[in-house]
């Protein structure tokens, strides 16, 4: 569990996890639909087997792993994380999976590896949202290598102790609790270690609204709406949003010398 | 002829229209009572009330053009009834109902925002209005709708005379502000405000063409007189 990390803010301890029914039926997953409720139905069309994930690029030992072997290679632990969406809602999720650093370290990144680029599945025959141009496909995300290696960065394979539902990003997604939800790609197929900051889907679509970092910051409003408060799923009254989504103690050191206001 | 039938059953038409206006509110109430507001109750409440207000404002603004278009349609299709503008006067009698329903939803929308989003924190409200265009646009739309609702009674229509029409042209501004409010809240790549945008562009564009005299070239199409004069 998250408490075993020895990081005081690692887990959302003392907070009630959101209901599984909510977590698994309120999904932003544009590969299927821009309608959060439709995703649950449409995502069932996705074929999960076979599924491989490759780790390549600026590494000594590139490798490809079958999604079925992830648990055997990297183990499984549970972490209860808060998730804050850039749209202004949030939930508390009991994820299961393993530290993202394990997946990356296995390939032995070289000194040229400064960023990590993630690529999600592109398969418009099953992902019908990809037939429209809502976003540039495949979905791309990226992290600085120190962010990706941070102990909080989590590779997710399960939810509530069960395998990950398709609508939540099966078989492999990320959970980066100090960043807005769009920074955590779903259905990952390719991880590339790169030297330059990689392009990311949302910042390609609208650079003024979505930056590369996407760190949760109540002080920096989205250009068109406030980020000061959030809607915890299941609650009617909004609550204040915390800097780095409440994980500042763990991750603020990553951004020393950088203006946190510029890291949206 | 349908128009004649509808005119003769105006009471029923009005009741149907009233029920339709109440439908979103009743559906919401049913969900509140059965604690079935879904994962994000606040978003559902805000979206349902906001969208209803915009749709009803669009319906209100459709009455006048609709009357004229239906008159022309009847004339072109050689109907016995409906080719005179006055044949469609009963449509105008629905407009107050639509407009007041719109205002009721807009008011509910603003109250839900103030109560549950802001938590009645007025300093937060002030900074939102200053920083965020969508809050300002929504607030302005509401401030415009308020005097229109207040002057909607028969006695106010009579008392204001020709000024009433001028005053109520402010509803065009409210519609544009409401639409901007919607667009500013929508993430890029989403198409949900498009139907509202298309409908309002048509309705307001028609009026703009009318006022600028663009339609005068087509005889009868400006709606000032029906195609076939009553003999």
Phi, psi of A154 (to 5 degrees): -125, 135
Residues of B in contact with A236 (CB under 8 A): 37, 41-42, 116
Residues of A in contact with B190 (CB under 8 A): 34, 134
CB contact under 8 A, B132 and A236: no
Q: How confident is the model at residue B229, as a pLDDT?
A: 44
Contact A160, A20 (CB under 8 A): yes
Contact A201, A135 (CB under 8 A): yes
Measure the CA–CA gap between B178 and B196, rounded to whole angstroms. 10
Measure the CA–CA gap between A146 and B14, rounded to whole angstroms. 66
Q: How confident is the model at residue B210, as a pLDDT?
A: 85
Contact B153, A243 (CB under 8 A): no
Non-local (6+) Cβ contacts of B193 within 8 A are: B179, B182, B183, B186
CB contact under 8 A, A228 and B185: no
From B41, B128, B188, residue closest to A236, measured CB to CB:
B41
Residue numbers in chain A where pLDDT is lower than 50: 1-10
By the 10 Å C-beta count (0-12 exposed, 13-18 middle, 19+ buried), B92 is classed as: exposed
Q: What is the DSSP letter of A140?
A: E
DSSP SS3 for B33: helix
Beta bridge partners of A115: A144, A194
CB contact under 8 A, B132 and A26: no
Tell me the pTM: 0.86
H and E: helices and strands count for chain A: 7, 12
Q: How confident is the model at residue A55, as a pLDDT?
A: 98
Residue in A167, A202, A182 with CA at minimum distance from that of residue A87: A182
Tokens matching residue A110: 């070289």
CB contact under 8 A, B184 and A224: yes
CATH number of the domain bearing residue A15 = 3.90.420.10
Phi, psi of A31 (to 5 degrees): -60, -25
From B43, B134, B189, residue closest to A205, measured CB to CB:
B189
Secondary-structure breakdown of chain A: helix, strand, coil percentages, each rounded to the nearest 5: 25, 25, 50
Q: How confident is the model at residue B6, as a pLDDT?
A: 84
Range of the domain at A30: 2-262
Please provide the DSSP assignment of A81-125 as one string: EEEE-TTSEEEEEEEEEEEHHHHHHTT-B-TT--EEEEEE---TT
Measure the CA–CA gap between A6 and B186, rounded to whole angstroms. 40
How many domains are there within chain A?
1
**ipTM entry:** 0.81
Beta bridge partners of A158: A96, A163
Strands (E), B45-113: none
Residues of A in contact with B134 (CB under 8 A): 224-225
Q: Give me the tens of pLDDT residue by residue for chain B, a chain 231 residues long.
A: 677 888 889 999 999 999 999 999 999 999 999 988 889 999 999 999 999 999 999 999 999 999 989 988 888 888 888 888 888 888 998 999 999 999 999 999 999 999 999 999 888 888 888 888 899 999 999 999 999 999 999 999 999 999 999 999 999 999 999 999 999 988 877 888 999 999 999 999 999 988 887 766 555 555 555 444 444
> Mutate which of B31, B35, B37, B40 to disrupt the A interface (most A C-beta within 10 Å)?
B40
Measure the CA–CA gap between A189 and A121, rounded to whole angstroms. 6
Residues of B in contact with A131 (CB under 8 A): none
């Amino acid at each position: 569990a998250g408490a075993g990390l020895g990081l005081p803010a690692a887990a959302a301890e003392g907070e009630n996890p959101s209901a599984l029914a909510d977590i698994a039926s309120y999904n932003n997953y544009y590969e299927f639909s821009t309608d959060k409720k439709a995703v649950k139905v449409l995502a069932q069309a996705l074929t999960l087997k076979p599924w491989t994930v490759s780790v390549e690029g600026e590494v000594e030992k590139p490798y490809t792993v079958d999604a079925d072997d992830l648990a055997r290679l990297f183990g499984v632990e549970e972490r209860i994380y808060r998730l804050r969406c850039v749209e202004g809602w949030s939930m508390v999720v009991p994820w299961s999976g393993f530290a993202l650093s394990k997946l990356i370290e296995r390939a032995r990144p070289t000194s040229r590896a400064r960023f990590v680029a993630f690529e999600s599945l592109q398969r418009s025959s099953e992902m019908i949202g990809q037939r429209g141009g809502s976003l540039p496909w495949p979905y791309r995300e990226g992290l600085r290598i120190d962010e990706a290696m941070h102990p909080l960065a989590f590779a997710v394979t399960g939810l509530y102790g069960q395998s990950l539902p398709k609508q939540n990003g099966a078989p492999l997604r990320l959970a980066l609790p100090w960043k807005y939800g769009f920074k955590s790609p779903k259905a990952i197929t390719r991880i590339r270690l790169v030297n330059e900051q990689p392009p990311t889907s949302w910042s390609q679509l609208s650079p003024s609204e979505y930056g590369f970092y996407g760190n949760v910051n109540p002080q920096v409003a989205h250009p068109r709406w406030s980020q000061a408060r959030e809607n915890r799923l299941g609650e009617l009254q909004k609550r204040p949003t915390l800097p780095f989504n409440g994980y500042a103690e763990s991750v603020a050191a990553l951004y020393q010398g950088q203006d946190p206001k510029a890291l949206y | 002829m349908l128009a004649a039938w509808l005119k003769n059953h105006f009471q029923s038409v009005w009741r149907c229209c009233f029920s339709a206006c109440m439908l979103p509110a009743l559906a919401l109430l049913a969900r509140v009572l059965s604690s079935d507001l879904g994962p994000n109750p606040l978003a559902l409440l805000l979206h349902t009330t906001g969208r209803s207000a915009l749709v009803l404002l669009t319906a209100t603004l459709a009455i006048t053009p609709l009357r004229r278009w239906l008159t022309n349609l009847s004339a072109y299709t050689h109907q016995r009834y409906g080719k005179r503008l006055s044949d469609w006067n009963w449509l105008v009698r629905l407009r107050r109902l639509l407009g007041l329903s719109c205002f009721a939803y807009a008011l509910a929308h603003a109250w839900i925002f103030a109560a549950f989003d802001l938590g009645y924190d007025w300093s937060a409200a002030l900074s939102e209005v200053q920083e965020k265009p969508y809050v300002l646009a929504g607030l302005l739309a509401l401030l415009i709708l308020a005097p229109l609702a207040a002057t909607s009674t028969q006695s106010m229509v009579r008392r204001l005379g020709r000024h009433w029409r001028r005053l109520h042209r402010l509803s065009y501004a409210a519609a544009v502000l409401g639409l901007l409010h919607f667009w500013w809240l929508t993430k890029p790549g989403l198409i949900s405000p498009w139907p509202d945008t298309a409908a309002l562009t048509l309705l307001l564009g028609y009026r703009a063409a009318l006022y600028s005299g663009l339609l005068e070239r087509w005889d009868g199409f400006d709606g000032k007189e029906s195609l076939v004069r009553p003999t």
